A and B are shown apart, each in its own frame.
Chain A
């Protein structure tokens, strides 16, 4: 993150790189992706993120990550990756029928 790569072919040389912005709305909650923006360096990305994504106290902490550094699963593999969990209902507590007397377990 502190070491931006050379602009890739997808980003024209003169364009500031793209950053993904994650905001923690308040202490105790996790950082959540809220959008992206262009900035020349990490410090500027955080400053701009404050102005773009927290104008109404939406945040108490910001993470920025270069978009080209994120590795994502392939949307084409979505079915293969995630569907196998569909028939594993026994992983959920509601699968187990218990007598009323102990059902709060």
Chain B
């Protein structure tokens, strides 16, 4: 998992203004643009416009936060998984999310911000994470549905980022995407098992989970193109490759078929095939809900952030003890050498 089109800066009142630039900066920026046009990758120590750096830092750190917060809704179910096999699978998946968070924090650190600074931004509510994790996981079917829909949407979002112009991010994404497809497949398979071998109550549980996760999942692609003020610049810089609406459409078209095979319906009465467009039309998305959840007022925002802050605070003594131990060992080694 789990990136979300996070180009919400316009709404967050971010730094849209262009600063005054010197002639030298202008020349450097022209060279930078030329490299982007040539399809060249930008490495950590290369010159880059300040706005490029900021945009990437925000996107990568928020992506990292999403991976880490994303462990919480699923972590709830590790001890409640119905079989040992499902428990092992869920554990592996949640561990992957932790790993993905770490790859991404490392990539973001290459832009000159420390890990602690990023975590501070998360813990104080300054940095965002994907809105999807502010919804509760009420039943076991939610685990399968998250794998199928939420990871599915994330993969759709993430594959184009493997070609991001910023190389450390692109490399992290290649690694993540390689590990990600297991997440979606295990979810779908878990649902398929319940739909093909389950009781009526279990089938109803799957349908209920799909009903609850469908709209939040398609919101993961971010606001419609005409309301994404920073998309054009991100496209120009090769940070973003495919627009929000285009990715959303791709996801919906792929998912409709999968829902049929699974035997569930998708909770959108206006969802139907459009022969002329060769794509599915869908009903209106409630963007006020999206902005409400991003803004901090979703069903679980306080609980999720509270859990992260508690983990950080409770772990403080471990971090300090490990450093103290390392310093002591290093001092001992120095003494041995001196003796």
Contacts and interface: CB of A to CB of B under 8 A. Distances in A.
A12 B323 CA distance: 12
A55 B96 CA distance: 8
A35 B116 contact: no
Given A14-B319, A16-B323, A37-B102, A3 B114 contact: no
B315 to A, nearest CB: 12
B322 interface: yes
B326 A4 contact: yes
Tell me whether chain A's interface is mostly helix, strand or loop, or mixed.
loop
Contact of A12 (B46, B114, B172): B114
Given A3-B330, A41-B326, A55-B95, A35 B320 contact: no
Contact of B322 (A36, A40, A56): A40
Interface string A1-44: 01110000011101110100000000000000011111011001
26 contacts: A2-B330, A4-B326, A4-B330, A10-B114, A11-B114, A12-B114, A14-B320, A14-B323, A15-B115, A16-B322, A16-B323, A18-B109, A35-B171, A35-B172, A35-B175, A36-B106, A36-B109, A37-B102, A41-B322, A41-B326, A41-B330, A51-B95, A55-B95, A55-B179, A74-B45, A75-B45
Interface of B: 43, 45-46, 92, 95-96, 99, 102-103, 106, 109, 114-116, 171-172, 175, 179, 319-320, 322-323, 325-326, 329-330, 333-334
Interface in A35-84: 35-38, 40-41, 44, 51-53, 55-56, 72, 74-75
A35 B114 contact: no
Contacts of A52: 99, 102-103
Given A3-B334, A10-B114, A35-B171, 12 more contacts: A2-B330, A2-B333, A14-B319, A16-B319, A18-B109, A36-B106, A38-B115, A40-B326, A41-B330, A55-B96, A74-B45, A75-B46
Interface of A: 2-4, 10-12, 14-16, 18, 34-38, 40-41, 44, 51-53, 55-56, 72, 74-75
Contacts of A18: 109
Contacts of A56: 179
Nearest to A4: B330
Contacts of B43: 75
Contacts of B116: 12, 14-15
Contacts of A15: 114-116
Contacts of B322: 16, 40-41, 44
Nearest to A6: B327
B323 A40 contact: yes
Contacts of B114: 10-12, 15
